[in-house]
A and B are shown apart, each in its own frame.
Chain A
Amino acid sequence: MARQITAPLTKEAAASLRAGESVLLSGTVYTARDAAHKRLCALAAEGKPMPFPIQGAVIYFVGPTPARPGQAIGSAGPTTSYRMDAYSPTLLRLGQLGMIGKGRRGPEVIQAMKETGAVYFGAIGGAGALLSRCVKSAKLVCYEDLGAEAVRELEVENLPLTVVIDSQGNNLYETGRAAYLAWRKQEK
């Protein structure tokens, strides 16, 4: 059974998560992708406050499709995370504890995660319709001019995620593939 966790994350909860673990995340997450990250880091460089509480925050790398009338959000799957690698270490050092995306992260991000005790979650890329059902409400926080790339506060319920890189730097992209290949070799 997948473990239930809550956002924002506590340091203890983040530290207890291990790469490869399936979790169901409920609570408040913030959306941001390329353009929003650039602006958030510009604020940080000027020493200005973040437009949402950054302590323990979980940021979902997503640019949803527009909501139809009566929907909280449109299709809402993860975007590829490496494009946020230039920005994530800055936000992690301000207190962010969780990132949701898909795809590899660079060594500088993993180093910052180990220093700050943060976790990188994978959501299923290309399953935006399924994931949108876990979003109960969405509220604009800032950067409306960015359209799909605006920062939104989402209330999510049982968002299915996999811990890809944990706070010790264990990486499912390496261990999962190695485990499969070792098993396959043994079978043959």
Chain B
Amino acid sequence: MRELSAGAVTEAVARLCIRANTHLTEDVTQAIAAAREAEDWPAAREILDRILENDAIGGGTPICQDTGMACVFLEVGQDVHITGDLRAAVDEGVRRGYADGYLRKSVVADPLDRVNTGDNTPAMLHVELVPGDRIKITVAPKGFGSENMSRIAMLKPSDGVEGVKAFVVDTVEQAGPNPCPPIVVGVGIGGTFDQCALLAKKALLRDMGSHHQKPFYAELEDELLEKINALGIGPQGFGGRTTALAVHIETLPTHIAGLPCAVNINCHVARHQTEVL
């Protein structure tokens, strides 16, 4: 069995926290540039130009001041043995990354008492066991301007695809200018209450504009994007075509009595970075 020290996980998480907050992946930058070309409203084009200028600054300055809660996704191979405390190793990585990268510490220890933990821990950690002897680590810092605009609905089976469409579009319309449009829309359909929300979050990790493997859902992604971009909200909510850059749907089997639907909204600073150890 392959052995891997928890310290290696710490180092990778620290690197990924810094990289994710200071570099967008190429697919995100290209999606914004493509939206700028397709935008037909001059004021909206100006805002998209400013966003592209912001994203190209580099030099270690975080793209957005809300460097988020550190959402960490681990796919752990069944044939790797981690020596040390994995949970503690991930949190130590967040602690180091947020200190060394001059990132904002945005986590309070208790949701009602609200005292800042001072080091952006704990990570929001998701661990999945997979075949193999590697560990895939994805860090997705999540800002709360967009997180606060996310919603879940336990729809009825009779609501069907029309109910899903109405809920997704209504969620984006209610959010309006608040989540820093243009946004990325992660949609989870199916599963249980908890798994549905997780699906919506995982949908945000996909490459921009990639599609669900089933043609039905791939077409639904395109249809929803078109409907959202007909709302007229536009970049920053000042009007325009570009309200969303992409709609990503993820699905799971569900119960005979249910049709859970979750919408997780991300802003245009759609951050995630991955390493495989």
The DSSP consensus for interface residues of chain B is loop
- Docked CA distance A177–B234 (Å): 7
In the complex, whether B232 has a CB less than 8 A from a CB of chain A is: yes
Stretch in A9-17, A41-49, A122-130 with 4+ CB within 8 Å of B:
A122-130
Provide the residues of chain A in CB contact with B51, threshold 8 Å. Answer: 124, 126-127
Provide the residues of chain B in CB contact with A126, threshold 8 Å. Answer: 51, 54, 63-64, 180, 267-269
Who on chain A is nearest to B63 by CB? A129
Stretch in B102-110, B124-132, B190-198 with 4+ CB within 8 Å of A:
B102-110
- Docked CA distance A128–B148 (Å): 19
CB-contact partner of B50 in A63, A127, A180, under 8 A: A127
Who on chain B is nearest to A124 by CB? B50
Q: How many residues on chain B are close to A (CB under 8 Å)?
A: 47
| A180-B232 in contact given A64-B65, A127-B50, A129-B62 (Cβ < 8 Å) | yes
Who on chain B is nearest to A172 by CB? B238
| A122-B238 in contact given A147-B105, A184-B232 (Cβ < 8 Å) | yes
Q: Are B64 and A128 in contact (CB under 8 A)?
A: yes
Q: Are B65 and A68 in contact (CB under 8 A)?
A: no
In the complex, whether A89 has a CB less than 8 A from a CB of chain B is: no
Interface residues of A in 5-29 (CB under 8 A from B): 20
Q: Are B104 and A63 in contact (CB under 8 A)?
A: yes
Q: Are A130 and B62 in contact (CB under 8 A)?
A: no
Q: Are B236 and A125 in contact (CB under 8 A)?
A: yes
| A129-B180 in contact given A80-B145, A177-B234 (Cβ < 8 Å) | no
In the complex, whether B162 has a CB less than 8 A from a CB of chain A is: no
Q: Are A74 and B102 in contact (CB under 8 A)?
A: yes
The DSSP consensus for interface residues of chain A is mixed
CB-contact partner of A65 in B102, B232, B240, B267, under 8 A: B102
- Docked CA distance A129–B43 (Å): 21
CB-contact partner of B65 in A62, A172, A183, under 8 A: A62
Q: Are B239 and A179 in contact (CB under 8 A)?
A: yes
Q: Are B105 and A160 in contact (CB under 8 A)?
A: no
Interface residues of A in 144-183 (CB under 8 A from B): 146-148, 160, 162, 164, 172-173, 175-181, 183
- Docked CA distance A130–B145 (Å): 18
Q: Are B102 and A148 in contact (CB under 8 A)?
A: no
Interface residues of B in 58-112 (CB under 8 A from A): 60-67, 102-106
Given A65-B104, A102-B180, 19 additional A-B pairs, CB 8 A: A62-B65, A65-B62, A66-B104, A75-B65, A77-B66, A102-B145, A103-B145, A124-B54, A126-B51, A126-B267, A126-B269, A129-B57, A147-B105, A164-B238, A172-B239, A178-B232, A178-B239, A180-B41, A184-B232
Give the interface of A toward B (CB within 8 A). Answer: 20, 35, 62-68, 71, 74-77, 79-80, 82, 102-104, 122, 124-133, 146-148, 160, 162, 164, 172-173, 175-181, 183-184, 187
A-B contact pairs, 9 of them (CB 8 A): A82-B178, A103-B178, A122-B236, A124-B47, A124-B236, A126-B180, A148-B104, A148-B105, A177-B238
